[in-house]
Amino acid sequence: MIKKHRPIEKHRNRSVLYISAIILCIDLLFVAINYYTSHKTLQNTLLQQAENHRNEFDLTLNMTYRNMLQLSTFISNNDELNQLFLAGKKAVEKEGMHSDKVSQLRKALLDKVKVPWDLTVQKFNVRQLHYQLGPGSLSYLRVHEPNRFGDRMDNTRFTIIDTNAEKTAHVGFETGRVYSGLRGVSPVWTTDPATNERTYVGAVEVGTSFKQILPLFAHTFNVENAVLLSKEHVKKNMWQSYVSNYFRENTDIDYYLEASSSDDVKAVLAKTTINQGFIENNTTVFEEDGRYFSSYYFPLFDYQGTKDNTLPPVGFVLIWEDVTPLIVDFNRSFWVNILFSIMAFILLEIFLLWILRKEKKLSAAKREALIDGLTGLYNRRFFDALLKKESANALKANTPLSMIICDIDFFKRFNDTYGHPQGDEGLKQVAHTIQRIVDSHGGVACRFGGEEFVVVLPYTNLKDAINLAESIRKSVSSLGIPHESSLIRSHLTLSLGVSCTHDSPSSKSLLDAADARLYQAKEKGRNRVEPCFASAHGHSSDLSQ
């Protein structure tokens, strides 16, 4: 089997394409990593801002509860009001909620507290003042709506129930029969004139709503916000007749809008996917009217939910803000990186092409030193180095190395008859024929000098070399190049000598043996192949046509 012998110059352009592809992949990888890290940083920044706003909202909510509790505590310490409340309580216990005496006492309490309460409502973000009796939650006087009283809210007003039961203050968000509120509830104590003993009367509640505090929060922290309640929670707590009045129900959203600092809340909801349980740990970025916004939401728990963590949230708080500067800066940075990557790729390609061009020039110079200018085959200089190298390899690996020497028959007569230009053309045709056959068998063809050619065949035994030589002889003969002055044929022919290292162990003896076989081929009539083993086997092959 003949082993393929690789030429010195091969696959250069393909290598350049591979290198360019690798550079491009590295460039794209750099862009991808840069985009990922920048995008991750942007997300973390937006999430941190959102979490800061959540903390600010919680702080605002706690301050609101504190303010409500301070007001309710202040009112519960007014003993004149407390005495009227105690008298009313005794009358209710004796005559019922709707007796004339209870009505007179309720009006007396209302008249006493109405004016200062109205001033408080005007100056502070409060909405309701409510006196309630225990146990449970029995409405005695709604200062903000005095015509409604006598109803029990034992299933909704747990801040009142717990205050009346524990006789301690409580705060929290609750949805009542009519509306929701942020409430501070204080116990009411006073001295009973009949017994001169300190007596518990009931609870006084001061409340506000998200409608009062959301615009203030938006203005203070430069964000927009909204509170939305689940329809299940509203249906469970509010009187149905008040639902349609209190909420402007929208059929295209799944929640009741309790309050909002902006009319854009529906548009924000349309761009924000709300998860079940209202738990979100990331932000949503969307574009609206050429501006970029980041939205974030978190669950809202009512008073009961803050006490029992197994209860679901009653709704969620939605916060959104304009983050156009951040997004614009991110996009600008991304395109700058793209531009930088393109420029870097172009510069690297220019450098690579410059190196390639320089290498080509060096290769061309080396090639010119090793290639015969007329035939394009390797020259004698290259042959000498190749033969030395392949002979050493064959000796070391104990593999055969064969050689063929080819000589054009009566070529001097050809030049004399047709002229040197035609002779050069004949040399080219013969050289191309030899190279085509030798290349397909993994050999190397060289111009040995004048009209002589030599073929080096690594890993090739004598039999294969003889067959290859015969193929060359026949192919050159079949070219039919006219040679009227030839003494044997009317066209160009070759004489060939073949040798192998198994008979000639050194490169010099291998060349000498092939040259001797060529001489024998000429002596025996030319246009023939003469193997070097002819004498060893006691015969010679006459392969002439």
pLDDT per residue over 417-476, tens digit each?
999 999 999 999 999 999 999 998 989 999 998 999 999 999 999 999 999 999 999 999
305 and 421 share a domain? Answer: no
94 and 188 share a domain? Answer: yes
Residue 354 forms part of a structural domain: no
56 and 165 share a domain? Answer: yes
DSSP code, position 378: B
| Domain ranges, residue 413 | 371-537
Q: Which of 326, 358, 391 is the last residue of a domain?
A: 326
Residue 38 forms part of a structural domain: no
pLDDT of residue 539: 35
CATH of the domain at 523: 3.30.70.270
Q: Which of 292, 308, 326 is the last residue of a domain?
A: 326
Active site residues: 451
Residue 414 forms part of a structural domain: yes
Structural domain count, the chain: 2
Is residue 375 helix, strand or coil? coil
281 and 421 share a domain? Answer: no
Evaluate whether 291 touches 268 at the Cβ level (below 8 Å): no
Residue 366 forms part of a structural domain: no
pLDDT of residue 305: 94
389 and 264 share a domain? Answer: no
416 and 280 share a domain? Answer: no
Q: Which of 326, 359, 394 is the last residue of a domain?
A: 326
Residue 141 forms part of a structural domain: yes
Name the pTM for this structure: 0.65
Residue 20 forms part of a structural domain: no
Q: Could you give the residue ranges of the DSSP H alpha helices within 96-189?
A: 100-123, 158-166
Residue 429 forms part of a structural domain: yes
Residue 357 forms part of a structural domain: no
Q: Which long-range contacts (CB under 8 A, 24 or more apart) does 369-374 make?
A: 370/8, 372/431, 372/446, 372/447, 374/424, 374/427, 374/428, 374/431, 374/447
Residues in the chain where the model's pLDDT stays below 70: 1-13, 248-252, 362-368, 503-507, 532-545
219 and 98 share a domain? Answer: yes
277-287 pLDDT, tens per residue? 788 778 999 99
CATH of the domain at 247: 3.30.450.20
303 and 435 share a domain? Answer: no
